[in-house]
């Protein structure tokens, strides 16, 4: 069955994202140096983020709240107004980071749009994701935009139903094994994994075993040929 619906992730698939989160994390670790060693501060932040995901969801704003909470845990009574102000400034800088596209993304998306209904499927803060998409200049290439709170098999099933396609006629491409690949496969679709350096630990997961609908690609530009081969 040919592919009719092409779903593509945004952060770290179309443009750089984790490099900015990692830089902000490094800034927090430096601010917390008087209170905790580097690895202790990183582990505390990861634990706090994981704990807060059900409450704040994904994105820079929730990350900033988790940074403040981590600082409160590690600094205790020494938590100062200046430290909180520094963390808030780092959070604002994260929200305002430039959108840096991966090489050849616009051309690849144009090729994909010629092969089926192209839909952006990304998770995170609605305003921030909309802002990044507008800054990217890629919006007109998509036939649909889906900004979701999380990516699960049920999420993909709803998206497939909304666009009127069977799961086996859909493909999801992205850099997260946990959020892009495994749930799309569970929903019955094809999935193309495009790993990137510096991935967030929360997004890692084991690769699927013996799934004929799973492929790993070196870059997004390989996706049009894969779709042609499936068809």
Please indicate, yes or no, whether residues 203 and 153 belong to a single structural domain of this protein: yes
Q: Are residues 132 and 198 in the same domain?
A: yes
Residues of the chain with pLDDT under 50: none
- pLDDT at residue 111, rounded to an integer: 98
Q: Which residue, 66, 95, 124, sits at the end of a domain? A: 95
What is the pLDDT at residue 143?
A: 96
CATH of residue 27: 1.10.150.240
Q: Which domain holds residue 152?
A: 5-16+100-230
Is residue 151 within 8 A of residue 121, CB to CB? The reply is: yes
| pLDDT score for 56 | 92
pTM: 0.90
Report the CATH number that the domain containing residue 171 is assigned in CATH: 3.40.50.1000
Alpha-helical segments (H) within 96-138: 105-113, 126-136
82 and 171 share a domain?
no
Q: For position 129, what pLDDT does the model report? A: 93
How many residues does the structure list for the chain?
231
Query: Do residues 90 and 124 both lie within one domain?
Result: no
């Amino acid at each position: 069955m040919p592919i009719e619906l092409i779903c593509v992730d945004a952060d770290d698939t179309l443009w750089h994202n984790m490099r900015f989160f990692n830089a902000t994390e490094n800034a927090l670790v430096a601010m917390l140096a008087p209170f905790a060693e580097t690895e202790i501060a990183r582990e505390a932040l990861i634990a706090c983020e994981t704990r807060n995901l059900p409450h704040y969801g994904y994105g820079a704003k929730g990350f900033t709240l988790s940074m403040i909470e981590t600082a409160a845990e590690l600094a205790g009574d020494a938590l100062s107004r200046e430290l909180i102000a520094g963390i808030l400034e780092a959070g604002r800088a994260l929200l305002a980071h430039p959108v840096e596209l991966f090489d050849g993304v616009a051309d690849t998306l144009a090729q994909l749009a010629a092969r089926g209904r192209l839909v952006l499927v990304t998770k995170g803060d609605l305003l921030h994701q909309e802002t990044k998409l507008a800054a990217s200049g890629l919006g007109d290439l998509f036939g649909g935009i889906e900004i979701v709170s999380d990516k699960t098999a049920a999420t993909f099933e709803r998206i497939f139903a909304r666009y009127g396609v069977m799961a086996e006629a859909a493909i999801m491409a992205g850099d997260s094994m946990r959020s892009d690949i495994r749930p799309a496969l569970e929903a019955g679709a094809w999935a193309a994994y495009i790993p990137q350096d510096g991935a967030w630990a929360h997004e890692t997961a084991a690769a699927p075993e013996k799934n004929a609908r799973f492929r790993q690609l070196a870059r997004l530009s390989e996706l049009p040929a894969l779709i042609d081969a499936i068809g």
